[in-house]
Structure 1
Amino acid sequence: NIPTLPFPSLTPQFPPPSSPTDVMDVSIDSVTLLICLCGLAGNGAVLCFLQRNSTTLYIINLAFANFTFLHFAVPSSLLYLLEDLSCSTVVSLNYLRCLLLLSLFSYNLGLYLLTAISIERCTSILCPFWYRCHRPKRLSWVVCALLWAFSIAVIVTVTSLCLSQEHEHCQMSLISMYTLNLFIFTPAMLISSTILFIKVKCGSHEQQPKSYDIVIFLVVPFFLIFALPLSLSNFLQQLDYTVVSSQIVFLLACIHSTINPFIYFLAGRCWRRCSVRSLRLSLQRIFEETEESNARGNDPAMDTVLPDC
C-alpha cells in the first residue's frame, strides 16, 4: 500500500464523459501543458543567453531548476490530459510517481536557490564592506553545490521511505520536507527580501533600485502567490485536510516557473523589437550592472562608495 505522492492524484476517479468536472479537468490540464511549453522556451533562453559568473550562478541554477520542473511537468500534464479524455489509466502508477518525484526535487531546489539569492543580496546591502572585501570568491559555487546536495538528500530520503511499504514513515518524511519548505526556507526568503526592500526604499532617493533588486522584489512575491500554495496544500493534505484542488496548485507552480524568465527580460528594460540580440542584452543589462556595482563596492541603498580593502 504505497501512498500516493502529493501532486495531482495518481489514482483519479473519472467522472462520466462530458460531465462538468471532466471538462474542467481537461481545460486545466490543457492550460498547464501550454504554460509548461512556454516556460521551457523562456528558461531555455536564460540558460543559453546568460553569461556565467559569480553573480549569475544562482540565476542560472534557478533557471535550470525551473526548466527541470517544467520538463517533468509536461509529460505529467500530457498523461493526465490523455487520461481525462480516455477515462482510463494510460501508464503505470510507478512511472507517474517517478515523474512527480523528479518534479518535487526541482521544485525544492528552486525554493532553496531563491532563498539563497534573497539572503545573499540582502547581505550585500547590509554588510557591503564584508561583501566586497571578505566574502569568499567561491561562496556562490559552494552554496549552490550544498543546495544541490541537500535537495538530492531530501528527495532520496522521501523516496526510500515512501517505497518501504510503511505509510507512517512516508507520511512523516513528507511532513518533514514540507515543514522545511514552509517554516524554514520560506520565512528566511521573505525576511531577507523584506529587509532588502526596506533598505532600498529608505536609501538615497536620487538613485533608482538596481535591476537585480527589482528582479528579487518581483520573483519573491510571485513565488509566494503561485508556488508556495503547492507546499501548503500538500502539507495540509498529509494532515488529511483538502483546501484546494491539486490540479490548481500544480498549475500555479507551473505558472511561477514559467513567469520568472519574463521577469528577467522586463527588468532589463528591453522595450525594443523582440529579437535574440535584444533578449541577450536584456539579461546582460541586469546582471552586468550588479557585477560592476559589486566590483566598485557601491551600496545601492545608501549610495556610498566604500574605501579600498
Structure 2
Amino acid sequence: MAESPTAEQLESVHDTTVQTSTNWSLDPRTEAAGESVSLHWAEIPSLVIALVGLVGNSIVLWLLGFRTRRSPFSVYILNLAAADALFLGSYFGLRMWVIVGDLNLVILDQLGRCLLGLSYRMGLSLLAAISTERCLSVLFPLWYRCHRPKHMSAAVCAILWALQGLFSGVFGALYFLNKDDLDDFYFVFDLVQFSWFLLLTCVLGVSSLTLVLRVQCSSQRRRPPRLYLLVLLTVLVFLLCGLPLGVFYAVQFLYDFYIIPLGLTRLLACVNSSANPFIYFFLGSQWRRRGREPLRVVLQRALGEEQVESRNLVSQICRKVIPTNATDSV
C-alpha cells in the first residue's frame, strides 16, 4: 500500500512546482495560483503567435473549404490547417482559462491532454501522409497518376481523425470513470503515443530525404515545382519547431527528466502551427507582378502547379509505352 507523503515531501514538491512554473507549463498541476502574474508576461509571445496563427489557418480553411476547387493535395492541406487551428485555439483558450483563474484544474488538465495531444498527433500524421504521397508520386509517377484511388486523400484524413479522436476520447472517458487506479493506464497511453511519434517521425524523415534528393536532382535541369518546395518547407519548419515538443515528452517517458524547458517547446509548437499559412501564401505569390492578387488565386497557385507537370510527365510516358504495347500485340 502506498504511504502518505510527509510534510517535508510536500514542501519539496511545492518548491519544485514553483521552480517549474517559469516553464509556462500547460499542466495545471505544476502551476501555483499565486504565480499567475509572472506567467502572464512569460506567455505573451506564445499567446500572440497562437492568435495570429489561428487567424491565418482560419483563412486557409475558408479558402480551401468554400472558395476553391479541391484537389487531392488540397484535402491534406485543409485537414492540416484544421489540426493547426485546433492546436492554436486550444492552447490560446486553455492559457486564457488559466489566466482568468476560476477553473477546475482536473477538467483543464484533461482538456489539455486530449485537445493538444489530438491536434499535435494529427498534424504529425498528416505531414507524414503528405510527404509519403509526394514520394510515391516522384518514385512511381505513372502508377500514382493512373492507379491512385480517387478519394484516397479524404479516406486517409478521415481514418486519421477517427483514430486520434477515438484515442483521446477513450483516454478522457476512462480517466473520469476510473480515478483510483490510473498508473497502468497512463503508462499504456504514453507508450502508444511514444510508438506513434517514433514511427511517424521515421516515415517523415525518410520521405522528406527522398524529396530533397529529388528536388536536388531536378533543380539542375529545371526549377523544381512549387508543391515540392511547399512540402519540404512545411516539413522543415515542423522538424525545427514542432518536433521538440514530441521529443520533450518522449525523453520524459523514457528517462523521466526535462531535456529542454516545456514552455519553450510549446512556444515553438505554436510557431510551427502558425507558420504554415505564411508558407503557402509566400510560395504562391508572384513578386514580379504589380498589384495585389486575391488570396484564393495565390493559394491555388501554390497548390496547383504540380498537377500540370504530372499530367505532362504522364502523357510523355504514355506516348512511349502505348505504341510499344500496341506493336507487341500485333
Stretch moving more, 245-254 or 170-179: 170-179
Could you tell me which amino acid in structure 2 is paired with residue 107 of structure 1? Y
Picking from 261, 264, 289, the partner of 1:245 is 261
Structure 1 residues 16 and 144: alpha-carbon distance in aligned structure 2, compared to 1, 3 A threshold: closer
Whole-Å separation in 2 of the counterparts to 1:31 and 1:14 = 21
Q: What aligned pairs does 1:128-139 form with structure 2 within 5 A after superposition?
A: 128-139=141-152
Off by >4 Å, runs of 4+ in structure 1: 15-18, 272-275
Contact 1:28/1:248 (CA < 8 Å) preserved in 2?
Answer: no
Task: Name stretches of at least 5 consecutive residues in structure 1 with no aligned partner.
Answer: 1-6, 83-88, 299-303
Helix, strand or coil for the counterpart of 2:72? coil
In the alignment, what sits opposite 1:226? 241
Could you tell me which amino acid in structure 1 is paired with residue 26 of structure 2? P
Picking from 181, 203, 209, the partner of 2:218 is 203
Helix, strand or coil for the counterpart of 1:215? helix
In the alignment, what sits opposite 1:305? 316
Whole-Å separation in 2 of the counterparts to 1:45 and 1:273 = 23
Could you tell me which amino acid in structure 2 is paired with residue 131 of structure 1? Y
Structure 1 residues 195 and 244: alpha-carbon distance in aligned structure 2, compared to 1, 3 A threshold: same
Contact 2:54/2:85 (CA < 8 Å) preserved in 1?
Answer: yes
Picking from 34, 42, 61, the partner of 1:47 is 61
Whole-Å separation in 2 of the counterparts to 1:210 and 1:172 = 44
Stretch moving more, 264-273 or 194-203: 264-273
Compute the displacement of 1:208 (Å). Answer: 1.0
Compute the displacement of 1:206 (Å). Answer: 2.7
In the alignment, what sits opposite 2:193? 178
Contact 1:157/1:173 (CA < 8 Å) preserved in 2?
Answer: no
Whole-Å separation in 2 of the counterparts to 1:37 and 1:152 = 24
Structure 1 residues 224 and 201: alpha-carbon distance in aligned structure 2, compared to 1, 3 A threshold: same
Whole-Å separation in 2 of the counterparts to 1:58 and 1:226 = 20
Q: What aligned pairs does 1:13-32 form with structure 2 within 5 A after superposition?
A: 13-14=31-32, 23=38, 25-32=39-46
Q: Percent identity?
A: 33
Helix, strand or coil for the counterpart of 1:208? coil
Compute the displacement of 1:16 (Å). Answer: 6.6
Higher relative contact order (CA 8 A, sep 6+): 1
Stretch moving more, 113-122 or 166-175: 166-175
Could you tell me which amino acid in structure 2 is paired with residue 122 of structure 1? C
Whole-Å separation in 1 of the counterparts to 2:53 and 2:291 = 17
Compute the displacement of 1:13 (Å). Answer: 4.0
In the alignment, what sits opposite 2:109? 97
Stretch moving more, 220-229 or 234-243: 234-243
In the alignment, what sits opposite 1:80? 98
Whole-Å separation in 1 of the counterparts to 2:54 and 2:241 = 17
Helix, strand or coil for the counterpart of 1:244? coil
The question of 1:281 aligning with 2:297 is answered yes
Whole-Å separation in 2 of the counterparts to 1:38 and 1:156 = 29
Structure 1 residues 9 and 206: alpha-carbon distance in aligned structure 2, compared to 1, 3 A threshold: same
Contact 1:171/1:238 (CA < 8 Å) preserved in 2?
Answer: no
Q: CA RMSD in A?
A: 2.5
Whole-Å separation in 1 of the counterparts to 2:265 and 2:95 = 13
Task: Name stretches of at least 5 consecutive residues in structure 2 with no aligned partner.
Answer: 1-24, 323-330
Contact 2:57/2:84 (CA < 8 Å) preserved in 1?
Answer: yes
Whole-Å separation in 2 of the counterparts to 1:204 and 1:252 = 31
Whole-Å separation in 1 of the counterparts to 2:29 and 2:160 = 32
Whole-Å separation in 2 of the counterparts to 1:40 and 1:274 = 27
- Give the alignment's TM-score, normalised by structure 2: 0.79
Whole-Å separation in 2 of the counterparts to 1:36 and 1:274 = 30
- Which structure: greater helix fraction? 2
